[in-house]
Amino acid sequence: MLELVSKRTDGFIKQMPKYLRKRYGQFFTSLTTARFMASLFTLPVKRDLQVLDAGSGSGMLSVALLERMDKELEGMVHVHLTCYENDTQILPLLKENLNDLKKELNLQFDFEIRTDDYLLSQSDAFNGSLFKGRSDAGRYDMIIGNPPYLKIPRDAPEAIAMHQVCYGAPNLYFLFASMGIFNLCDKGQMVYIMPRSWTSGAYFKRFREFLLDQVKIEHIHLFNSRNRVFNKENVLQETMIVKFRKTKIIPDKVFITTTHTDQDFEKQTHFPVSYTNLVSGKSRYVYLITNTKEAEVVDKLNVFPYTLPNLGLRMKTGLVVDFRARNLLRDFQEKGVVPLIYSRHISGGRVQFPLGNGPEFLVMDKRAFLQRNKNYLFVKRFTSKEEHRRLQCGIYLGSDLPEYEWISTQNKVNFIDGNHNLTDAETYGLFVLFNSRWYDLYYRVLNGSTQVNATEMNQIPVPSLPDIRRMGLRLLKKDDLSEDRCDEILKSYLNEQYQENASFAFKDRFAERATV
């Protein structure tokens, strides 16, 4: 039956233009993905099972799950399936598929299709107020979903209705996930396919807090390819499949599996991660650790007690959106201009200026566009998925361009600034950290996108400022800004710290034994 539903869905995709489906954030699940998502459930044995598929589309996920239940639970349970779908274009196909499924299976099940808005119809109940009508709070044993992926305005009805989990510009996918968690009964399970973006960043902090307080993560599946997850849809998106359970019990291990695409689930890699390593920090970031090396890096760097803001430092985003200030750009130096640093100026671990290609100077028109000419560590904001490094840094010293009191930075550059002027040694020390392979890997675990986000960089653990300064002095001794040199200095520092901590631990144990 699932193969037939897949063929019918392909036919719908061909006759429905992508731009129309994109308006609703509608991207269809492939057959192999649907089967894999259905396989992640632990099938409960109870007489009556309530199953929810919100944003059902053509019913691919429902059919995959019920086919599995038909094979494994026939005669043991009765299933009631609830589907939410309000796209009038696909409703006839959904009804046809579910009616045919009912004829095909031996499993006892019935279904209902609700055409009201999944989020707004339950928003009063979600907010805890009296609700006249039906509420599905805590009703469902199993929820499966591929929610719409669509950014909505912060004043959209859905965002206002679910304001507790929103911050900044919301997206429908995490509102669907939040409502799904609300709909789960105690010990109920939910399997969702969703973008990776919720695992870190300020925009999703409220959602993470709500989610991790209500449910526990049991399984995460990652895709190495961004463009081969939604089969035939040609979507470029970092996507993951997550299984949640509504419980307060923290699992010992969470399995993180990985495949390249949605067509090779039989070739997946498995890596068990402790829950305390998966979810960490005050911001409740989710660390997507897939191998031993990543686990080692996260373990070792998470022992550092500081972040940049703790040290009076902060990573910030460049000040000038150049296409909005074209009238202020200049190709050459002239009176009344300042250097404008672009990401193309970051090369070989330094800021190379000028290059003589395109706009490189800015008319000093607005104070908001200017920053003091002093020491900075610059970091490119954008890299490609295929590039060797995510963190690409360049040292800039105010003495590089001594004739200027002010400089400026283009919006696609991040820079580290401080409450005090960074010394040369501190600037080089920061370069040691963020140019090392360790920090680059840490950031990749933390954030799967190709954008280096200043908010997340300000959450990454770092050593004390005196230690950063000492590492910088070591780098200054040699004219070598390579990854190898930065790795060597950072590894040496970590070994020294380990030996020092081990020495303290030995002294404590010796003192305790002597006292006894």
250 and 381 both lie in a single domain: no
N residues, the chain: 516
Q: Mean of the pLDDT values across residues 41-52?
A: 90
Tell me, yes or no, whether 303 lies in a domain.
no
Q: Is the pLDDT of residue 47 over 70?
A: yes
Query: Domain with 238 in it: what CATH number?
Result: 3.40.50.150
263 and 338 both lie in a single domain: no
Q: Is the pLDDT of residue 473 over 50?
A: yes
pLDDT value at residue 272: 95
Separation of alpha carbons 172 and 247, rounded Å: 24
Tell me, yes or no, whether 64 lies in a domain.
yes
Q: Is the pLDDT of residue 109 over 70?
A: yes
pLDDT value at residue 511: 39
Tell me, yes or no, whether 278 lies in a domain.
yes
Total domains in the fold of the chain: 2
Q: Is the pLDDT of residue 23 over 70?
A: no
194 and 341 both lie in a single domain: no
Q: pLDDT band for position 498 (50/70/90)?
A: low
Q: Is the pLDDT of residue 8 over 80?
A: yes
Q: What is the pTM of this model?
A: 0.85
pLDDT value at residue 134: 62
Query: Domain with 413 in it: what CATH number?
Result: 3.90.220.10
66 and 203 both lie in a single domain: yes
Among the ranges given (8-17, 136-145, 193-202, 387-396), the one the predictor scored with the smallest mean pLDDT: 8-17
pLDDT value at residue 503: 46
Q: pLDDT band for position 210 (50/70/90)?
A: very high
Q: Of the ranges 21-35, 218-232, 268-282, 398-412, which is most confident?
A: 398-412
Q: Mean of the pLDDT values across residues 389-409?
A: 96
Q: Of the ranges 75-79, 237-241, 442-446, which is most confident?
A: 442-446
Q: pLDDT band for position 510 (50/70/90)?
A: very low
Task: State the residue range of the domain holding 386.
Answer: 309-498
Strand segments, DSSP code E, in 140-179 are 140-145
The more confident residue out of 499 and 272 is 272
pLDDT value at residue 26: 62
Tell me, yes or no, whether 347 lies in a domain.
yes
Separation of alpha carbons 290 and 358, rounded Å: 42
What mean pLDDT value characterizes the chain?
Answer: 88
Q: Are 329 and 362 in contact (CB under 8 A)?
A: yes
225 and 324 both lie in a single domain: no
Judged on CB neighbours under 10 Å (0-12, 13-18, 19+), 114 is middle
pLDDT value at residue 406: 97
Q: What are the structure tokens assigned to 505, written together?
A: 């631990």
SS (H, E, C) 21-83: HHHCCCCCCCHHHHHHHHHCCCCCCCCEEEEEEECCCCCHHHHHHHHHHHHHHCCCCEEEEEE
Q: Is the pLDDT of residue 191 over 60?
A: yes
55 and 180 both lie in a single domain: yes
398 and 470 both lie in a single domain: yes
% of the chain at pLDDT higher than 70: 90
Q: Mean of the pLDDT values across residues 399-418?
A: 96
Tell me, yes or no, whether 506 lies in a domain.
no
Tens of pLDDT along 243-289? 999 999 999 999 999 998 777 788 889 999 999 889 976 778 999 99
Q: What are the structure tokens assigned to 351, written together?
A: 């800021």
Q: Is the pLDDT of residue 507 over 50?
A: no
pLDDT value at residue 226: 56
278 and 152 both lie in a single domain: yes
Tell me, yes or no, whether 295 lies in a domain.
no
Q: Is the pLDDT of residue 383 over 90?
A: no
343 and 201 both lie in a single domain: no
171 and 279 both lie in a single domain: yes
236 and 327 both lie in a single domain: no
Tell me, yes or no, whether 26 lies in a domain.
yes
Separation of alpha carbons 443 and 214, rounded Å: 27
Close Cβ partners of 4 (under 8 Å, ≥ 6 residues apart):
100
Beta strand pairing call for 48-54 and 140-145:
parallel
Q: Mean of the pLDDT values across residues 49-67?
A: 94
pLDDT value at residue 506: 34
314 and 386 both lie in a single domain: yes
Separation of alpha carbons 150 and 162, rounded Å: 16
Tell me, yes or no, whether 512 lies in a domain.
no
Tens of pLDDT along 284-307? 899 999 999 999 999 899 889 999
